[in-house]
Amino acid sequence: MDELTTEMTEGTYSVQTDLSDDYYDVESTVDSGFCNRSWVRLFRGQYEPPLFWIIVLLGGMGNLLVVWIYTTVRSRLKTMTDVYLLNLAVADLLFLCTLPFWAIDATNGWDFGVYLCKMVSAVYKINFFSSMFLLTCISVDRYIAIVQVTKAQNLKKKRLFYSKLACLCVWFVSTLLALPEFIFAQVRIDQYQKSTCAMVYWNHEYNRTKILVLCLQISMGFCVPLLVMIFCYSVIIRTLLQAKSFEKHKALRVIFAVVFVFILSQLPHNSMLIVEATQATDMTITDCKIVIFVDIAGQVAKSLAFTHACINPLLYVFIGVRFRQDLLRTAKMCTGVLRQGGLSKIHVVPKRPSVMSDTDTTPALSI
């Protein structure tokens, strides 16, 4: 969570909260004049680094494999989903590159300078937004391919161009939304004389600026993608239920998994951002123990949101029929262990494709 500051006056605490600098001590008292942050700093230093390195390791392997398959095994990107998935993997990889900095910051403080602080903060936010927007694009692409079949066929030759144009727009809008990171990210010294990279709103309208930034993040990074996904997938579900396909139940399970994982990973983090925005509006939280609880919850929720970089390759790529085939083909070429007869059985594709896996629109949600 970003900075929350309130002046301490006669029995209220001076509360300053940031996920880069959220450290409070449960044993603090009003007489001490502030919430001692050493306990939460210790928690963050022990909790975040190992989790972040696990996310980097697993997410890096999955997304690098996706990029390698799309750029080497396949001769070219054939569908809109291919374009979106490749860009999603690139966005997740760039996002993962920022996590080691935050892991080091959690244990040793920020020793990389103010310019790298701004750059890492901005790169993190650009790729966070772009991942959310690309997941939204995948939902729209599935909606067009399954529900608007006639329109999809008419635009088949132009859809690849439109997908590349959509990706350019995604990166451009994400960069615009990350401008506050370029402007307000600073290296500051906390009350324990440790440097940290955090958002510092230097103008006199601190709360108003912060609330605007938080509202943009909540609305564009969660609410808009969620609403679009719910609309697209609800219509897709209705279409699948009307379809006479023996594989529709598998497709429905995939859709529910996509929506469930998105909500599970992003809702807690955005809920804490809402709490932070509320606190910036009227400073409702003044009890030190409640501040500690909110701060810890914010750290855990943000870490949960970061796991999307690991889950995306599994959820949006490896469940695809064509991608699994490419992966098996590559494994055979690399190892030389699989026999041709056994591999051909794995490569058998049903003559009657499911409505989630037509050959012209290789789906992200194919079975």
Residues in the chain, total: 367
Q: Is 6 helix (H, G, I), strand (E, B) or coil?
A: strand
Output the pLDDT for position 344.
43
Output the pLDDT for position 349.
40
* DSSP assignment letter at 85: H
> What is the reported pTM?
0.78
Q: Are strands 15-16 and 5-6 parallel, antiparallel or unpaired?
A: antiparallel
CA dist list (Å): 247 to 13, 152, 244, 270, 367? 59, 21, 9, 35, 8
CA dist list (Å): 361 to 57, 81, 145, 214, 355? 31, 7, 7, 36, 10
* DSSP assignment letter at 71: I
Give φ, ψ of 195 to 5 degrees.
-80, 145
- Neighbouring CB atoms inside 10 A of 342's CB total 11
Token readout for 152 is: 């999809």
Q: Sign of dihedral through CA atoms 64, 69, 75, 80?
A: negative
Q: Are strands 5-6 and 195-199 parallel, antiparallel or unpaired?
A: unpaired
For residue 321, the surrounding DSSP H or E stretch is: helix 321-335
Q: Is 199 helix (H, G, I), strand (E, B) or coil?
A: strand
Q: How far does Cα 227 stand from its chain's mean position? A: 16
Output the pLDDT for position 342.
45
Q: Is 186 helix (H, G, I), strand (E, B) or coil?
A: strand
Output the pLDDT for position 366.
47
Which fold does the domain 5-319 belong to in CATH?
Rhopdopsin 7-helix transmembrane proteins (1.20.1070)
| Contact between residue 66 and residue 313 where contact means Cβ atoms under 8 Å apart | yes
Round to whole Å and give the CA distance between 183 and 122: 9
For residue 175, the surrounding DSSP H or E stretch is: helix 156-177
Output the pLDDT for position 37.
61
Torsion of CA 229, 232, 238, 240, to 10 degrees: -90
**pLDDT by 10-residue block (mean), the chain, 367 residues:** 38 37 34 58 85 94 88 72 88 93 89 92 92 91 83 73 91 94 87 80 70 90 93 89 69 79 90 85 71 84 89 77 72 60 42 38 41
- Residue 33 CB burial class (10 angstroms; 0-12, 13-18, ≥19): exposed
Residue tagged 């051909």 (tokens): 344
| Contact between residue 133 and residue 93 where contact means Cβ atoms under 8 Å apart | no
Output the pLDDT for position 249.
66
Output the pLDDT for position 260.
86
Output the pLDDT for position 242.
82
Output the pLDDT for position 206.
59
Torsion of CA 93, 94, 99, 100, to 10 degrees: 90
